[in-house]
Structure 1
Amino acid sequence: MLYLKIKDLYKRKFKVAQIAKELKISRPTVYKYLEMTFDEAKAYTELPIGKKKKLDSYKDWILAWLEEYPHLSAAQIHDWLLERYPNLAVGGSTVRSYVKDIREFYQIERKVTVRQYEAIPEQPMGKQLQVDWGETKQKTTESKEIKLYFIAFVLAHSRQKYMEWQTRPFTTRDAIRCHENAFQFYGGCPEEIVYDQDHLITVSENAGQLLLTAEFQSYVNERKFKVHLCRRADPESKGMIENVVKYIKGNFADSRVFSDIEDWNQRGLQWLMRTGNYQVHQTTKKRPAEVFLVEKQHLKPVSSLLSFESTNNQSITRSVSKDNTIRYKSNRYSVPLGTYQTNADNHVLIEVTGEEPPTLVIRKEAESEIIAEHVISLEKGKLIQNRNHIRDRSKGVEEFKRRLISFFENKTQASGYFDEISQRYPRYRRDQFAIIHQVIKQYPTVIETVLTKCMREKLFSANDFRDMAKHINRLPHEPVKEAKSFYTYPAKYSHIKTSTRSINAYTSILGGLS
């Protein structure tokens, strides 16, 4: 059959490359058959394929299986061979190569069952939100590698996206917290949310009677949205969020360097505004951010604090960042310095008052005293700070300068020197003073000389001060001894004083001008 097909296509003026492509065989095979007569081709097919191969003894079995089940993979055939011949020692690559040759030689094309998809009508506004999780590996600023985890959301109608990252795997509490943040980001809640069968939210599908985890079930009861679970091993049923996860990995995360999780999340929100929700969507041909302005009006409004969380002492919390801020509705709000503690529980509770203007109230624990209050900003990406939460940096630097001046005897000169450094390096005053402080501790005996020389040479830099101290410290420090006269005079002549001539007398003798 292969011989006849090649001859037929050749008579129809197909080129060798076209015949090879059409029949899915190599060009040398085409050339070989074109040079044969029918009887030669018949005799050739009755011979073993090419040179003697390890699987030739099993050729009849393999050929029979492929003719009856054309869709079989080489891996399945390998397994069937081992099932029939347990002592057969052959590698997977050998089986793949042999099966490929059999298919080509006998023109047995692998029939792949293709799932047929139908276009799904656009979801109504505010109807559906799809959610999924992902993870990536990122290079850090220290040239190390870190694993990051994220949760992604997308509104089915507008394609408006939201994401949140963390450095550890998600828990159910994390998932609930991120849902709340997403609802605040979107300004409301949809009618239903589509999930994969993830262990964070579900126990079992149970033939349509969904069994959710207790904590997530309480959350669903409170927020009153429908849960739609995709069938197992069926990612196509939520292809929209699958594409978003790939988009986040391939566009935002790809080759981006990680410094810390707060910065990473902030850059993620900026990417959403700049690219993820701004670029024209290839299916809708619209910008998600523009369509979302209309869809937002169809979302169900959500309260700022869940009642079930208050009664069960499981309040939706906010994590305090290292810079002593929390995030709320895409803005950062300050808390008092020292709220963030290393290796401690850095969570606070928030509450939004119904007053005008709305106020964000922050507490360390339920019913405890308020640690911070802020008027809620309607903008995004802003830092809202209370003056009481800001360190008085100038006071600390000035105190440092006064301590340094106290080490010098000539305090007026030292004060002028440090004032000049402050004017030249206003942003790096503390760094400059720290270097000088180290010099004072290392070379305490020469700092007066160093200060004088630096003032005289106008060297107003901590590095110059340090270099001058090193140089002077290397010089010998023995006191200069008074030279003794080579001549001694009797004591009786000690009362005689020599006269001293003026310089004009010597100038006149030498013939110079007076």
Structure 2
Amino acid sequence: MKSAKEVMEILAAYDLTKSYRAAAALAGCSHHTVARLVAERDTADAPTPPREKRPMLIDEYLPKIEEWVEHSKGRVRADIAHDKLLALGFTGTERTTRRAVARIKRAYRLGHTRVHRPWITEPGLWLQYDFGDGPVVDGTKTVLLCAWLAWCRHRVVIPLRDRTAPSVYAGLDRTFRRIGGVPTYLLTDNEKMVTTEHVASVAVRNPGVVSFARFYGLVVKTCLPADPATKGGVENTVKLAKADLVPTDHNLAAEYDSFDDLEAACTAFCEQVNTRIHRTTRRVPAEMLAEERLHLHPVPAAAHTVTWGVTRIVPDNTPMVAFENGQYSVPHTLRGQTVFVRAHGAGASERVVFVHHGDTGPVEVARHRRARPGSPQICDEHFPPPPAGVLGRQPIPRTDAEHAFCDIGAGARLWLCEAAEAGTGKIRVKMDHAVTLAKLLGAERVDWALGHAAAYGRFAEGDLMAILDAHPAGVASDRTHRADESRSLAQGTSGWAALGDGVPADEATEL
């Protein structure tokens, strides 16, 4: 069935040529169609009612196609739908299927397309921010934090090393200070650092962002999931920033030698886009920002705690914290706790600073030079006294018998170490014997005897009992025995005194 436009073109072609076949060649239809339309026009009676539409092979399958389009939210492909129809017994061509799917998709979009109303905001109310993939600097991929002040269309782009919460909050703090105030609302996506979950389509805020918002006196709002049209202004800012700042084959931008070069490029980009006339407001955003500052809240003098750096949890087994491919020591008393770490300065004066926020407030706990991979920065004062090691190994009892022996005292533990070093046999039997003696004679006395046995290397079967017998109870064990000349066992020279006495003179002469 021809449309009204096609009918007009056919009749105009006939009026020009006065030939059915010539008009059909010009209009691209059959000469019978031209004859019919001319006859309908020239009939003096009332216009012929429109003909009934002929049934098509696809008609009985249209409800199924509508079901597929509805289920796929308008994303089903025509070739896939045609394959499904063939399985259901459809005998038409793929061209018929494509036309039907396109017609149903068009109707679906008209019924589900969101109608936009121009957003007219007030000064000082809305600030939107989003992220874009930044260039690679020093082998590390950076992030572009893009912010857009809705009323004056002022744009701010700040490069970040990562998208962790402390880095993002520090970037937002810089944004507030750059525009000269804090807005009433802050609009962004539903990231984990902002929204923890959705309950009945209601976003549940992350406690960290709630604390951040309360500190700066603003309200954080999030757009609907998968709905970039909610914050189209900042989406365009991300697109422009990536097109100008990220080196590609199209913009011929050079690679950045350092992170400072990227920050300088972002500053130059903001200066460029904020000092030219905006196509919507027909005004310069920098000039409008001066008016909007009067409606912004003041920025707190001190930044939020997240600007101290990124958070790190000190491991339980070692007070070493990893930061940007380096290892740094912190006091061992902070094991299991959270510290803030940031890099301060540049070049030879750069330092990695660690801050711990305790009950008494923030305290700087460590400051190191930049560490290289494999060469950690360690301060000896951050570690507890080292263990005794191999040379000072002490007994660690594990069984009841070992506990009973080691509980006798330090002399018993010393005897065990020395006896083990000497390779004493039946050492467990001797330990049990010492425990029995401790119960009978007292642990203090047996411990003293074991200590002396260890000092003198007496580990034989009856040595312990011999030492106890030699030092009866009630006798001072610290008495000393001193040997004089009359008690000495060493050979003296008194026997030489008679040498030469009583020898006749003549015998002496012969000698």
Q: Tell me the TM-score normalized by structure 2.
A: 0.47
Determine which structure has more spread, i.e. the larger CA radius of gyration: 2
Q: Tell me the TM-score normalized by structure 1.
A: 0.47
